[in-house]
Structure 1
Amino acid sequence: MRMAALLAMLAFLIPVTAAAAPVPSSTTLVECANTMSDGEQLNAAIRASLVGVEIVISGRCSIDSTIRLLGDRSYHGMSRTGTVIRQADGANLAALVASDSYLDDTDFTGDPVTLRSLTLEGNREANPRAGDGLVLRSWASVVDPVPVLGANRHGIRVTNPSANGTLLGNTQVNGRISACHVAESGGSGIRVEDPGNAVTDWQLTDNWIASAGAAGISLDNTAGWYVERNHVYDVAAGAIAAERLFGSSVSDNCIEDFAGFGIRASAQGEAASTVAHNRVVGTSGEVSAFVSVRINYGAAAVAVVANTLRDSGTRIGLDYQAATGTTATIASTGNLVTGVTTPRRVSSGVTVTTGI
C-alpha cells in the first residue's frame, strides 16, 4: 500500500507536457493524370516547396512547359516505369527538365538537385524543333537512375552557358550521373558544354548510351572527371570525346558498333591522366582511330594501359599526337591491339614508355 501511494504521489507531481507540434511533411506528392495540366501542376508544386523537400512524382506526366528544378530539393519517381515525364506532341520545348539557374540566366551555378527513379521521354518524332532532355546547371547534383529517351537534341546536358548564353562566374563541380540509359538522342547522349573551366570534377559512371546522332558521350572539359564503366554502342559519329584531360580517368568503358572514333582524348599540360581498361571493338563504319590522345599545350603525361582494341580493316589502333611546341610522355603498355593496319602511330614530341 505504501508503494502504491508513493507512485500515485509521484505521478501527481510530474508535470504533464503539452503534445509536441506536428512535424511538417518533408515530402510533396504530385500525381500526374497524363493530361496537359500535368506540367503546370508539377511546376506549381515545385514553386511552393520548401528547401529540403522531396518531391515525389507518380504516374505519366504529359508536359507542354519545361519543368524547372529548384535547388536543395530531390525529385523522386515511383519507379522508372511508374513515373514518366513525356513531352506532349507539338510542345517543342528547349528543355524537358532544367535547372533554375539555366532558365534564369544567372552567372552562378544552381544549388544541388537530385533526380531519381523516373523516365524522361523527349518524343522527338512529334517535336522536331525541341531541344534537350535534361539540362543540369547545378553543382553537387545526382542523377541516378534516370532513363532519357528520344531527346531531339542531347539526352543529358551539363552546361556552363545558360539558356541565353550567360557564362558561370563560379564553378559547377562534384556531380554524379550514373546508371542512366540514354537512347535515341538527336545529338549526344551525354553532353558537357564548357567553353570556360567551370564544369569539372564530376563522375559519369555505369551508364548505357545508345543510338546517338552525335558522339555518344562528348565532354568539352574532362578535368577531374571519372568517365568509367559506361557502355556506348550503335553510334555513328564517335563514341567518347574527352577533351582537356587534367587529372582525369577514362576507364573500363565498353564501346562497340561505332563509327567516327572510339575514344578521342586531348590532354592538358601540368597534370597526369589515365585511359585504361577500355574495350573498343566492332566498328560499323569509317573510323579515324580506336584510341587517340593529342596534346593541347605544354608537357602532358598520360597512362594508356590495358585497353583491348579489335577490328578487321584499315584503321589505326593507338594514335598519339603532339602539336608543334607541345610534348608528352605516354606510358603505353599492356594494350591488346588486333586486326588493324597500324597498331600504333606516334608523332614527334611524344615519348612512349612502358612506365615503371
Structure 2
Amino acid sequence: MRRFVVIPVVALVGLVVASAPSSGRVVQAQASTVACTNTTNDDEAINNATAASVPGDEIVITGKCLINGTIRLAGERSYRGESRAGTVIRQADGANLDAMLASDTYLDNVDYTGAPVTVRSLTLDGNRQNNPAAHDVLVVRAWQSVIENVETFGATRHGLRVTSLSANGTALKNTQVNGRIVGNHFAMSGGHGVFVEDPGNSVTDWVLADNWVADSGADAVMIDNAAGWMIRGNHLYGVNGVALWADRLFGTTISDNYIEDFTVSGLRVSIQGEAASTITGNRIFDFPGGGGAFLETRVNYGTGVLAVTGNVVRGMGTGVGLDYQAEGTAKLQLTSTGNLVTGVTTPRQVGTGVTVSAGI
C-alpha cells in the first residue's frame, strides 16, 4: 500500500514560479476579500480573486453568493467564509453544474493530485429542486486538504465528493493522502452525503471526524478505499441506504460513531487480506425497524484481521445485529468482544471461513 505522494515536476515548477518571481523577490501571502452581490457575477468575482492570488493566499468570501459557474479551488490556497450563516453560496436556478466548487486538477483533467486546499466556515446550497441535472456540491482532488465547518445541503447528487478521477474520468498516477474532513454538516443530498471515489489506490490515510450527515438519498457515507482512514465521532441519520459503507479496510479505525435510522445497513465494511483494522465503540440503532444488518463484514481476498469491540446495537425486533462473513475462499480472523446487541431477530451470525475469538 502506498503511503507517499509524488508531485509531478511540472506541478512543483508551477508553485516555484508563483511564489518566487524571476526578480528573486518573495511574494508575501495575503488575504483578499470577495463581497458577494447575490448575482450570477459572484462566481466570476471569486475565480478572479483566485487567478490574482499566489500560493499561501486566503480568499475570504462574504455575504450571499449566487453562482452559475463552477468556483475553481487552486492549490496552496485557503477559501474561508465569515460563518455558515454569514457566507452562503447558492447554485442559481437552471445552472445544473457538475460541481459548485472543485479542485483545479479535477477541472483540468490532469493525472496528478492537486496541491493542498482548505475550505472552511461557509454554507453551500445545491438548490437541487431547480437543478435536476446537476451533480455534486463540493469536489476535492487534492492531497493534504482540509474541509472544516462547512454545511452542504440540497445536492442533486453528492454533498462532498473526494475523488481520484477528474471531470472527464482521468485517473491519478500518484496518491492523494492525508486530508481532513472535520466538523461539517452534509444534509439532504440526493446521493451520498460524503462519497470517496477511488477505483485505484490513491485516496488513503484521511480523517473523517465529528461530522453530521443527515437525510441522504443513498448512503450517508460511502468510501471506496478506506485504507489507513480514521473514521470517528460522526453522527449519521435519516439514511435511505447504508449509513457507513467503508470498503478495503487496511489499518483502518472506525470508532465512536452514532448511526441511526437506516434502511439497508448501519455499518458495512470489506477488509483487505493484509494489516488489521478496528471497529470500536460505535452506537448503531434502527428504531423504525428497517430489518437490515446493523454491522456486517466481508473479506476481499486472503485472510482479513479485524477487532470488533465495545459496540452497542439496538433495534425494534428485526434484522441481524452482527453479521460476520468472509465469502468465497477468503477468511476472516476476528475478535468480537464486549458488544451489546438487543432488539434484533438474530444477535450474531457467523459465516464459513470466519474464526471468532474473545482475544487475549
Q: TM-score, normalised by structure 1?
A: 0.92
Matched residue of 2:40: which SS? Answer: coil
State the alpha-carbon separation in 1 of the partners of residues 251 and 306 from structure 2: 9
State the alpha-carbon separation in 2 of the partners of residues 322 and 49 from structure 1: 51
Instruction: Kindly indicate whether residue 169 of structure 2 is the aligned counterpart of residue 169 of structure 1.
Output: no
2:290/2:318 contact within 8 Å kept: no
1:259/1:283 contact within 8 Å kept: no
Instruction: Kindly indicate whether residue 226 of structure 2 is the aligned counterpart of residue 222 of structure 1.
Output: yes
How far is the alpha carbon of 1:328 from its aligned partner?
Answer: 1.3
1:80/1:119 contact within 8 Å kept: yes
**Match for residue 180 of structure 1?**
184
**1:196-244 Cα deviation digits (max 9, x unpaired):** 1100000000000000001000001000001110000011111000111
How far is the alpha carbon of 1:334 from its aligned partner?
Answer: 0.3
**Match for residue 338 of structure 2?**
334
**Match for residue 352 of structure 2?**
348
Instruction: Kindly indicate whether residue 60 of structure 2 is the aligned counterpart of residue 56 of structure 1.
Output: yes
2:249/2:277 contact within 8 Å kept: yes
**Match for residue 83 of structure 2?**
79
**Match for residue 302 of structure 1?**
306
State the alpha-carbon separation in 2 of the partners of residues 27 and 284 from structure 1: 49
**Match for residue 325 of structure 1?**
329
**Match for residue 137 of structure 1?**
141
How far is the alpha carbon of 1:287 from its aligned partner?
Answer: 3.5
Matched residue of 1:263: which SS? Answer: strand
1:37 to 29, 36, 41: 41
**Match for residue 252 of structure 1?**
256
Q: How many residues align?
A: 336
How far is the alpha carbon of 1:25 from its aligned partner?
Answer: 6.1
1:198 to 195, 198, 202: 202
In our comparison, the structure showing a higher alpha carbon Rg is 1
1:144/1:178 contact within 8 Å kept: yes
Matched residue of 1:46: which SS? Answer: helix
1:77/1:117 contact within 8 Å kept: yes
Instruction: Kindly indicate whether residue 231 of structure 2 is the aligned counterpart of residue 238 of structure 1.
Output: no
**Equivalent residue runs for 1:144-155 within 5 Å:** 144-155=148-159
Letter in 2 for 1:215: D
5+ residue gaps, structure 2, are 1-24
State the alpha-carbon separation in 2 of the partners of residues 229 and 25 from structure 1: 34
1:258/1:283 contact within 8 Å kept: no
1:236/1:285 contact within 8 Å kept: no
Q: TM-score, normalised by structure 2?
A: 0.91
State the alpha-carbon separation in 1 of the partners of residues 289 and 242 from structure 2: 10
**Match for residue 12 of structure 1?**
none
Identity within the alignment, %: 57
1:90/1:127 contact within 8 Å kept: yes
How far is the alpha carbon of 1:313 from its aligned partner?
Answer: 2.2
**Match for residue 212 of structure 2?**
208
1:66/1:93 contact within 8 Å kept: yes
